[in-house]
């Protein structure tokens, strides 16, 4: 669920106390390592932090793609594809299908991995699957204001929630014109001047 983004980016990534024993942590490079980590001052537990997977779907139906208008921050009111943090115990396509069900009350079948997008500045990897929207049925879930099945020309390009959504849709419609969908990978980064840079592989 996207609602989790803010929590992940703020309180969760800054660590003050050891989650194992409750003592304060400090930042140091453990022996045999080469990166600074949070290490407990009492029990010496090393607390690794790693990127998170955002799994999502491009639900397709009769040449159109299902978009969701966000009912939550960040980017309230802007358009996105159904996507959210993968949960423990899931597979990546199961996570993409669950997010699609939660955000758009929509069932997707025949999922195929289409795009892997690295967002190193926010420690996320997006994994987007193409999926067949069953019977074209969808409606707004709890985190969604409305859903819309869009042809390429109907996509609200100026009201998309995230750069990764624009990148996914641009690549998808480009590939759809050719009728082939190779795996796509891009790095999407925020540069020194705060502008988004996209590097396609």
Q: Which residues bind its own copies (CB under 8 A)?
A: 1, 3-4, 7-8, 11-12, 14-22, 24-25, 32-33, 35, 45-53, 85-94, 113, 116, 118, 120-121, 123, 125, 127, 142, 183, 185, 187, 201
From residue 82, give the alpha-carbon distance in Å to each of 57, 131, 153. Answer: 6, 11, 20
| Closest CB to its own copies among residues 125, 150 | 125
**Local structure of residue 43 (DSSP, 8 states):** T
3-state secondary structure of 63: coil
Q: For the CB of residue 192, give the shortest distance to its own copies in the complex, in Å.
A: 15
Among 106, 129, 112, which Cα is nearest to 55's? 129
Give least dist CB 48 to its own copies, A. 6
Q: How many CB atoms lie within 10 A of CB 127?
A: 20
Give the nearest distance from C-beta 86 to its own copies in angstroms.
Answer: 5
Output 38 or 155, the one with its CB closest to its own copies.
38
The encoded tokens of residue 194 equal 């705060």
Question: Given the complex with its own copies, which of 35 and 153 has the nearer CB atom?
Answer: 35
Of the pair 131, 155, the CB lying nearest its own copies is at: 131
Report CA-CA distances (Å) from 33 to 14, 15, 28, 30, 72: 20, 19, 10, 5, 39
| Shortest Å, Cβ 107 to its own copies | 18
């Amino acid at each position: 669920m996207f609602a989790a983004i803010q929590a992940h980016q703020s309180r969760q990534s800054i660590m003050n106390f050891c989650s194992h024993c409750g003592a304060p942590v400090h930042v140091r490079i453990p022996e045999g390592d080469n990166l600074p980590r949070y290490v407990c001052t009492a029990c010496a537990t090393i607390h690794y932090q790693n990127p998170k997977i955002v799994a999502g779907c491009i639900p397709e139906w009769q040449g159109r793609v299902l978009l969701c208008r966000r009912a939550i921050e960040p980017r309230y009111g802007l358009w996105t594809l159904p996507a959210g943090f993968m949960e423990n115990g899931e597979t990546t396509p199961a996570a993409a299908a669950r997010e699609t069900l939660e955000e758009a009350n929509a069932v997707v079948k025949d999922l195929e991995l289409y795009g892997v997008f690295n967002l190193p500045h926010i420690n996320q990897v997006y994994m987007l699957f193409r999926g067949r929207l069953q019977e074209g049925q969808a409606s707004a879930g709890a985190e969604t204001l409305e859903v819309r099945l869009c042809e390429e020309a109907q996509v609200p390009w100026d009201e998309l929630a995230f750069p990764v959504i624009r990148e996914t849709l641009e690549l998808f419609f480009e590939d759809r014109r050719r009728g082939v969908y190779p795996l796509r990978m891009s790095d999407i980064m925020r540069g020194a001047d705060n502008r988004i840079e996209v590097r396609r592989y």
